[in-house]
Amino acid sequence: MSRIRTLTLVAAFAALAGGAVQAAQSTDGLSRRVRVHNQTGLEIKRLQAADVRTGQYAEDLLAGAAVAAGASRPVTIDAGNNACLFDLRAELSSGQAVVKENVNVCRVADVYLTR
């Protein structure tokens, strides 16, 4: 099986399982899996995370599967560099963006997004 097809299948299974595909995994043994709670009143179409040290937002953590208003979804936020502090950016169905800064994904289990 080709490498591209294998990665596509891995991405599809990860999306079905409610997690994000990570290019690398941190080596410090800390969990970076959090449940994102949508308390914005609107559907979250896209969710991105940026290591606070770089400010560079990565791919969509939802893998195209929106989170309805009032719903929650587990995601893994791991840049593969042992970072714990991330800024989260949620794009809502209205086109608005909600940003939650300095989330320590190594210490919290739940993140609540509000407008």
Domains of the chain: 3-113 (2.60.40)
Cβ burial 8-47 (10 Å sphere, 16+ → b, else e):
eeeeeeebeebbbebeeebeeeeebebebbbebebbbbbb
pLDDT of residue 23: 56
DSSP letter, residue 61: T
Question: 90: which strand partners?
Answer: 47, 98
Render pLDDT for 67-94 as a digit per residue (tens, 0 to 9): 999 999 999 999 999 999 999 999 999 9
Both tokens of 72, joined, read: 């929650």
Please give the residue that has the higher pLDDT: either 5 or 45.
Answer: 45
The pLDDT of residue 21 is 40
More confident residue, 34 or 10: 34
What is the rounded CA–CA span in Å between residue 70 and residue 21? 24
Pairing of strands 33-38, 44-51: unpaired
Phi, psi of 101 (to 5 degrees): -95, 155
Q: What is the pLDDT of residue 24?
A: 77
